[in-house]
Chains A and B, each alone.
Chain A
Amino acid sequence: MAEDKFDVVVVGAGPSGLSAAIALAKGGLEVAVLERGSFPGSKNVMGGIFYRQPLAELLPDFWQTAPVERPIIEQRYWMLGSQGHVGGGVRNQSFDGASPNCWTVLRAKFDRWLAEQAEAAGVMLLTETTVDSLLVENGRVIGVHTGLEDGDLRADVVVIAEGVNSILLRDLGIHPEIKSNQVASAVKEVISLPAEKIEDRFNLEHGQGVSIELLGTLTQGMVGIGFLYTNRESLSLGVGVLVSELARTRLQTNDLLEALKNHPSIRPLIAGGKTEEYLAHLIPEGGYHSVPAVHGHGWVAVGDSAMLVNSLHREGSNLAVKSGLLAAAAILQAKERGDFSAAGLAGYRQALEASFVMQDLKKYRKASHWLESNPQFFNVYPDLLNDAGTAFFRVDGKTKREMQREILKMVKTRRGLLRTALDVVKGGLTLR
């Protein structure tokens, strides 16, 4: 049926799919976005930090009207020990101002707003619509099959923006099931707290925010991280570890989160807060080598579906937006040529490779495997660093030379001097 044919059908109303949809609609194409939730954002979870770039390329000044929470002016990094933490951070007013660097967002609000922008640009949004499978004919994707009655929608190109659980890519044979060491399972609580309390506790001026990335004993030796982010009137506190680590240790992520809430460095920050929501989500952690084919005959894959997350820099939604924009540009070119084959859409892969998205993932391509095979960063160094720091500042009658010997002994017995030196050098080489 002709009326059921669109130029492009986008599966999933998250940052990648909606960015692609808006860019395509602005380019004059007929676009439908299919979202399985009852509203866009109702299924979507991240920490979450949202960067100004690259969405501002598509929607200049979007933050003036978008439901962003707080511009992040200070990013702290804490290595938790059992009784405290060793930390550092970068604070600068220039992270706010006319062009803020990033904000905290709550995705159920933000994605809903972004979907409204898509509709305003002429995109047709269908909620409560789960795509069960792709329509494939002679090796070409020609549309989607939804759970609705008469639910087949045809399109020249299908944009797969399902998120990390990309069932469509798997069923297409592009992406064999994700390996358990390529994704982290994360849980989060949104904890409400009055704005003044947040600003007092985190040393903030009105409306500004702080992010704290947490490493160390909170993951109980497993490869993983935690975070504490300030929203307008709530905090987002979460922890995630590789799924393979959960299989190995038999631990549950919620228990890690409960222990984190009771950690002496975290407890006073969330005191008196009320848990409003509990959320869980997978985060792609496999990096460069886990990125599947991102285009084929009649389809492209964007965002988490394509495993586009730079976990070392806690960046994901910006990679999602960029991939959506690059996919849209390639589809517009394909439309001009009337060629929606893999060759016709290959410009997407090329542009993605040339952009910061794949360049950054490539730079850190060894990192995820390296961390996994070097558990000392999760089960030795956190306590070592905290104990050494504590010894450094404790005044107890020992001479400074004795104190230094004590710290050296800690390094020698718990990891070894040479091994520690090698860890530093190898770490540097892996991340260079």
Chain B
Amino acid sequence: MKLEDKLFLVTFNADTESHLSVKDQAVCQQCQDKPCINGCPADCWEHNPEKNEVHVSFEGCLECGTCRIICPFGNISWKYPRGGFGVKYKFG
């Protein structure tokens, strides 16, 4: 089963503003491994090779916190989404 098909099963109430961001793109450019990308269980993080920037799609975030912990440079700003927004589990 593809990850995108699994994520399709999850209910999200996406905010208009991101609760996740890169603090400093220059730091990401120094980062060889970019473990935020494989560490995220929902494929939210990606590297744009043209701009050489790391981007996040916060709308599909499962709010686990792995990206914040795995970033070797503490370069991810991670907040909880505003009240009522974000992932909404049916089963939990």
Contact = CB atoms under 8 A, between A and B. Distances in A.
A36 B80 contact: yes
Interface in A105-132: 106-111, 127-130, 132
Given A44-B89, A147-B83, A247-B39, A177 B69 contact: yes
A146 B84 CA distance: 13
A247 B35 contact: yes
Q: Which of B9, B39, B41 has the most CB of A within 10 A?
A: B41
A147 B78 CA distance: 16
Contacts of A280: 41-42, 62, 64, 66
A234 B82 CA distance: 31
B35 A275 contact: no
A251 B41 CA distance: 10
B10 interface: yes
Q: Which of A111, A234, A246, A251 has the most CB of B within 10 A?
A: A246
A246 B79 CA distance: 22
Given A38-B13, A252-B38, A277-B10, A128 B84 contact: yes
Contacts of B78: 165, 167
B38 A243 contact: no
Contact of B91 (A37, A165, A190, A250): A190
A130 B65 contact: no
Contacts of B6: 189, 254, 275, 278
Contact of B82 (A109, A130, A189, A279): A130
Contacts of A37: 84, 88
B16 to A, nearest CB: 14
A111 B92 contact: yes
A180 interface: yes
A310 to B, nearest CB: 20
A82 interface: no
A236 to B, nearest CB: 8
Given A246-B39, A250-B33, A185 B64 contact: yes
B1 A275 contact: yes
A128 B83 CA distance: 4
A407 interface: no
Nearest to B65: A165
Contacts of B66: 185, 243, 246, 280, 282
Nearest to A166: B65
Nearest to A46: B92
B3 to A, nearest CB: 5
Interface string B59-92: 0001111101110101000111111101111111
A246 B38 CA distance: 8
B73 to A, nearest CB: 11
A279 B89 contact: yes
Contact of B92 (A107, A189, A243): A107
A275 B59 CA distance: 21
Contacts of A251: 38
B7 to A, nearest CB: 7
Interface string A204-223: 00000000000000000000
Given A37-B88, A38-B88, A185-B39, A180 B33 contact: no
A357 interface: no
Contacts of A46: 92
A281 B64 contact: yes
A135 interface: no
B69 A243 contact: yes
A254 B3 contact: yes
9 contacts: A36-B80, A36-B84, A38-B84, A44-B89, A107-B92, A108-B91, A128-B84, A247-B72, A280-B64
Interface of A: 36-38, 41-46, 106-111, 127-130, 132, 146-148, 164-165, 167, 177-180, 183, 185, 187, 189-190, 234, 243, 246-247, 250-254, 258, 261, 275-282
